[in-house]
Amino acid sequence: MSSGSTWSDLTPRVLSAVIMVVIGGIDIYIGGWPFSVAVWGVCGLMTWELARMQGASSPLMLGLLAAVALALVEIVPPLVGSKLPIVPLIAAAVFVGMGQVVRDRHIYVIYATWIMVGCLAMLMLRQVAGLGWISWLIAVVVVSDIAGYFAGRMLGGPKFWPKVSPKKTWSGTIAGWIGAGGVGVGFAGFLGAGLMLVPISMVTSLAGQMGDIAESAIKRRAGVKDSSSLIPGHGGVLDRFDAMLGAALFILMLWTFGWMPGLS
């Protein structure tokens, strides 16, 4: 592969990334309803892409249903004083989709649930834990991705999991862990988490990479290169946020069990 083909996607990738950073950064900083609406929309788009890959008869309807269900999960509990609506709302959205897909229904159920719970974790981190924590998580995933992208292309070497993700190398994977550790160092004092945030950041990077690989496996099984073509240089929304879903779910698990230093 020539160097030109190796870097051919860099320009659209960078331009798209800049636009996403500006728009996403404003939403994240403001928080509140603007952030919630953005996450609901992203959830709907990712579900739409998943439904298309699984051959659903009405993928757009399923995407809208997922977005509405996530919105109700966030809106309804404060009105009724209970968190019970979370499970039935997510389950209803997922099982309606299961009835529409024509192949690998178990994959749709698992991954559609993953999408909705991962987006819920992002909402909780911003709206409950605060701006600092959501900024840390995003920084871990973004720095890990950037470090892995450049290290993988400049250093190359053995593939991490060639049957599932043929482009991912061990050099890029390890560079991602190192970059995430650096983010942990930078945020440790600011978040009051101490140096335990460094190994947690590195494992969070690994969780994000596993999210990336899981989506790659679904795409290979569906016989598609990208989940869609909505984002130039990145493919689909799911292609861009798959690692974020894996990382967010991992942090939600740690947070639920009280294993996140500085985050009660």
The per-residue pLDDT for range 50-92, each reduced to its tens digit, is 999 999 999 999 999 999 999 999 887 654 445 556 888 899 9
- Mapped to the 3 state alphabet, what secondary structure does the chain carry? CCHHHHCCCHHHHHHHHHHHHHHHHHHHHHCHHHHHHHHHHHHHHHHHHHHHHCCCCCHHHHHHHHHHHHHHHHHHHHHHCCCCCHHHHHHHHHHHHHCCCCCCHHHHHHHHHHHHHHHHHHHHHHHHHCHHHHHHHHHHHHHHHHHHHHHHHHHCCCEEECCCEEEEEHHHHHHHHHHHHHHHHHHHHHHCCHHHHHHHHHHHHHHHHHHHHHHHHHHHHHCCCCCCCCECCCECHHHHHHHHHHHHHHHHHHHHCCCCCCCC
Residue 19 within a domain:
yes
Joined together, the tokens standing for residue 139 give 């920084």
Distance of CA 129 to the CA centre of its chain: 18
Residue 148 within a domain:
yes
CA distance linking residue 97 with residue 56, whole number of Å: 7
Joined together, the tokens standing for residue 169 give 């190398």
- pLDDT in the model for residue 50: 97
CA distance linking residue 246 with residue 218, whole number of Å: 14
Nearest alpha-carbon partner for 219 in 236, 206, 205 = 236
Which range of residues forms the domain containing residue 245? Answer: 7-256
Instruction: Count up the domains in the chain and report the number.
Output: 1
CA distance linking residue 121 with residue 202, whole number of Å: 19
- pLDDT in the model for residue 6: 46
User: Looking at the predicted structure, is the pLDDT value of residue 244 above 90?
Assistant: yes
- pLDDT, mean of residues 211-225: 92
CA distance linking residue 6 with residue 13, whole number of Å: 13
User: Looking at the predicted structure, is the pLDDT value of residue 15 above 90?
Assistant: no
Residue 72 within a domain:
yes
- Using 50, 70 and 90 to split pLDDT, how confident is the model at 153? confident
CA distance linking residue 183 with residue 196, whole number of Å: 12
Distance of CA 205 to the CA centre of its chain: 11
Mean pLDDT for all residues in the chain: 89
CA distance linking residue 16 with residue 254, whole number of Å: 32
CA distance linking residue 202 with residue 148, whole number of Å: 13
On whether the CB atoms of residues 49 and 228 are closer than 8 A, the answer is: yes
Residue 180 within a domain:
yes
Residue 261 within a domain:
no
First to last CA, the chain: 49
Strands 159-161 and 165-169: antiparallel
Instruction: Please write the tens of the pLDDT for every residue from 88-139.
Output: 889 999 999 999 998 889 999 999 999 999 999 999 999 999 999 999 999 9
Residue 262 within a domain:
no
